[in-house]
Structures are given as structure tokens and as C-alpha cells.
Chain A
Amino acid sequence: DIVMTQSPDSLAVSLGERATINCKSSQSVLYTSNNNNYLAWYQQKPGQPPKLLIYWASTRDSGVPDRFSGSGSGTDFTLTISSLQAEDVAVYYCLQYWTSPQTFGQGTKVEIK
């Protein structure tokens, strides 16, 4: 199975400041034939299901604010919140869908400093 490792486990950021979350996969999730990275990011708030933010490592889902961006390729990926808002307090997960079983990172909790 591909192991997804996120860092840090938690971070506290001031309102309006940048939050950066990293995700590393134990093997590449880049399909060179189509140059797509099979990596998604989700946001989960307490008592709610995960909400899709980003797919193909860098494509924002419809309706997701542009302060959320994804980058990276191969085995190393980053989710950036450019200007943290109060409503962004949540746990964020990366997901690889390159191979079965699909696997998630352990999650990164984002709080307000």
C-alpha cells in the first residue's frame, strides 16, 4: 500500500497569514502518460464528511475559494491557504488515488493562533 505522510500534524496560524501543509507519498503518484498526479486534498470540519478541495494535485474544485492552492509532483505535495480565514479551521487530508487501496494521510489540524 502507498503510505501518505502529512506534516505537520497540527499548526496554528494567525488570521490572514499563510498556512502550508505537506504530504509525502511512499511512491510516485505521477502517471507520466498523462502527466497527472493522482492526489487530492480534502477539508473536514467536526461532525461533517470530508469536502473536496483539490484534485489532480492542483485543480481547485468548483466553488473552492482561490486562497486554497495545491502544488507538487511525484511524491511531494503541498496545500497552501494563502490568507487564513476563521472558517478554514479544520483538519485537512491528502488522498492518493493512483492505486488501490486508496490511502489517506493522517491529517493536519489547522487552528487560529
Chain B
Amino acid sequence: QVQLVQSGPEVKKPGASVKLSCKASGYTFTDNGIHWVRQAPGQSLEWMGWINTGNGNAHYSQKFQGRVAITRDTLATTSYMELNSLTSDDTAVYFCTRLKFGDFSWFDPWGQGTLVTVSS
């Protein structure tokens, strides 16, 4: 079955960087884009960016432009999301999710999420 498995929780200090992973299985990795969405405690879902796993082109939300990098390793069928210059506002659960098809469709399935805690 299609599955996305994310890396474990992270605790970082303000100003640090974090790199999360999302391993895909159960389908042809390069057929579907991978998106990253985060959820701060008690808040809604916030789209951060996505990567075309076929050609490696990444696109980011204006909010995170310059501070985020989404990459992929096709051999490892894994996407990575690196966020720099962390502040306490970046404390959140970070999800990866698969674009169902094409460029504009819904997200399904989702990874289990990775909690990132930013604290001094």
C-alpha cells in the first residue's frame, strides 16, 4: 500500500536548522509530487512547499522562501525538507503528503508527522 514514513522528533535551539525526511513506498516515487505541510500546536494546516519528484524542481510558499529547501533522492524514494534560522514559531508537527496526481489535486496519503520543537 502507498505509505509515507517520516523521521523522528527533533529538538533544536533558536537559529539552528533542521532536516526532515519522508520515505515513500508502494508506488512509483517519481510519478507524484511530494508536498510539505506544517501544523503549529492547536492551529490549522499550513502549506510550505512541494517538489516535483520527477525533475527535482521545488516550489515554496512566499512565507518560507529563502529559509526552506525541499529535495529528493529518487534511489532512496525519499524527500527531505530543511528549514533554517529556526525560531520558537517554527515549533510544529511537519507532515509530508503525496499529491494524488498531476499538478493540482488533493493530498493523499500523509506521513505520520514529525514534531519539531524549537527551544532555548
Contact = CB atoms under 8 A, between A and B. Distances in A.
Interface of A: 38, 40, 48-52, 55, 61, 93, 95, 97-107
Contacts of B59: 100
A52 B108 CA distance: 7
Contact of A104 (B44, B100, B112): B44
B110 interface: yes
A4 B22 CA distance: 27
Given A49-B113, A100-B59, A105 B44 contact: yes
A1 B89 CA distance: 21
Interface residues of B, number: 20
A107 B100 CA distance: 22
Nearest to B95: A49
A109 to B, nearest CB: 10
Given A49-B113, A103-B47, A106-B44, 18 more contacts: A40-B107, A49-B111, A50-B45, A51-B110, A52-B108, A52-B109, A55-B100, A55-B105, A55-B106, A61-B108, A95-B45, A95-B107, A98-B104, A100-B59, A102-B35, A102-B47, A104-B45, A105-B44
Interface of B: 35, 44-47, 59, 61, 95, 97, 100, 104-113
Given A100-B59, A101-B47, A105-B44, A49 B105 contact: no
B83 to A, nearest CB: 16
A interface: dominant SS: loop
B45 A93 contact: yes
B61 A49 contact: no
Contacts of A95: 45, 106-107
Contacts of A99: 104
B46 to A, nearest CB: 8
B22 to A, nearest CB: 12
